[in-house]
């Protein structure tokens, strides 16, 4: 019995010394629960960042490669988490068909007269979302430097779409080269030429091809985008269309949308960014007169 009691006392003393060593000479205190044991919802609130807002991508159909002003538009749209993605088409007839079919969200390549003609011809359910630029049409030549140098029977290349071809005839009329029936309005056709004293011959080709004919004709009417593609500016032109800004000007370029999307908030934000002072300045800096911000008038 004595041996058992001595052994019990010895074990008790050893345990007391052990606890004192761990507790700094005081009674042991409970260890706080580790972070891992905190409720899951508390950890999530502390450790999980808020999810980023989803980026909204808006596809915009264009023709040609001169679209640098959209970089400024995208910079302005960053705060709204919207990004414009440019979709390039090779021909004018394609972007309206793609927009009407829902393959793209918007397009920005045409003026009002062209859109109206397309709607009349194909029945598209698309409309003007807002104005963008005016691209004055210019007459270029490798053979003459003044319109008065045109000679009898000279050939002139013109875009073969009705709206732009009519612009060419109106420019030549303003230069005193020919006359057109005033009843034809902004878009006269070949049949509307009432006086052609030089018997000029008009070579009708796609707008994208008039510049390539410069070596073979007396002159060519070249749209702003295609002129830029060939390194031409209005300063190189023999003459340039006189721009008369106004709500009735059918040659103001536009952003188009499906009619059902006319009040789409995202698309309206894209339009607002395009029609900003920042984008207007970018257009002036980049294109040096090839394009004029129409929305500033």
Residue 281's CATH number: 3.40.190.10
Mean pLDDT, the chain, as a whole number? 84
Asked whether residue 101 falls in the same domain as residue 151, the answer is no
Confidence (pTM): 0.69
| Predicted confidence band of residue 7 (pLDDT cuts 50, 70, 90) | very low
pLDDT tens for 209-234 read 999 999 999 999 998 878 888 888 88
- Among 240, 256, 275, which residue terminates a domain? 240
> Is 75 within the bounds of a domain?
yes
pLDDT tens for 50-85 read 566 799 999 999 998 789 999 999 999 999 999 999
pLDDT reported for residue 46: 54
Asked whether residue 212 falls in the same domain as residue 147, the answer is yes
pLDDT tens for 82-111 read 999 999 998 888 999 999 999 999 999 999
| Predicted confidence band of residue 131 (pLDDT cuts 50, 70, 90) | very high
pLDDT reported for residue 109: 94
The yes-or-no verdict on residue 273 having pLDDT over 70 is yes
Q: What is the largest CA-CA distance in the chain?
A: 143
pLDDT tens for 10-58 read 333 333 333 333 333 333 444 444 444 445 444 445 556 656 679 999 9
- Among 240, 261, 288, which residue terminates a domain? 240
Domain count, the chain: 2
pLDDT reported for residue 12: 38
Asked whether residue 143 falls in the same domain as residue 180, the answer is yes
Of residues 124 and 226, more confidence is placed in: 124
Asked whether residue 123 falls in the same domain as residue 263, the answer is yes
Domain around 150: 138-240
Phi/psi at 56 (5° precision): -100, 120
pLDDT reported for residue 254: 97
Give the whole-number percent of the chain exceeding pLDDT 90. 63
Asked whether residue 229 falls in the same domain as residue 183, the answer is yes
Distance CA 193, CA 252 (A): 24
Asked whether residue 254 falls in the same domain as residue 222, the answer is no
CA atoms within 13 A on the CB side of 222: 28
Asked whether residue 213 falls in the same domain as residue 155, the answer is yes
The yes-or-no verdict on residue 253 having pLDDT over 90 is yes
pLDDT reported for residue 151: 97
């Amino acid at each position: 019995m004595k041996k058992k009691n001595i052994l019990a006392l010895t074990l008790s003393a050893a345990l007391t010394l052990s606890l004192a060593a761990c507790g700094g000479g005081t009674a042991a205190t409970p260890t706080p629960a580790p972070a891992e044991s905190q409720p899951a919802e508390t950890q999530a609130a502390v450790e999980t960042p808020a999810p980023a807002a989803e980026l909204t991508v808006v596809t915009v159909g264009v023709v040609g490669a001169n679209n640098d002003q959209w970089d400024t538009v995208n910079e302005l749209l960053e705060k709204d988490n919207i990004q414009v993605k440019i979709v390039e088409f090779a021909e004018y007839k394609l972007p309206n068909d793609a927009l009407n079919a829902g393959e793209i969200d918007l397009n920005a390549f045409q003026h009002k007269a062209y859109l109206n003609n397309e709607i009349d011809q194909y029945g598209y359910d698309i409309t003007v979302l807002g104005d963008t630029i005016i691209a004055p049409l210019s007459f270029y030549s490798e053979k003459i430097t003044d319109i008065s140098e045109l000679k009898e029977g000279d050939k002139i290349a013109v875009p073969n779409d009705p709206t732009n071809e009519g612009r060419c005839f109106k420019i030549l009329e303003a230069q005193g080269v020919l006359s057109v029936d005033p009843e034809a309005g902004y878009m006269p056709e070949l049949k509307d030429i009432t006086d052609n004293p030089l018997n000029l011959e008009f070579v009708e080709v796609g707008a994208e091809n008039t510049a390539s004919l410069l070596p073979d004709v007396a002159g060519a009417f070249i749209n702003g985008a295609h002129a830029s593609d060939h390194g031409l500016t209005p300063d190189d032109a023999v003459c340039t269309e006189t721009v008369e800004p106004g709500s009735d000007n059918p040659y103001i370029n536009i952003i188009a949308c499906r009619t059902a999307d006319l009040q789409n908030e995202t698309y309206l934000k894209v339009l607002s960014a395009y029609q900003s002072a920042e984008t207007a300045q970018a257009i002036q800096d980049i294109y040096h007169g090839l394009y004029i911000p129409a929305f500033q008038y």
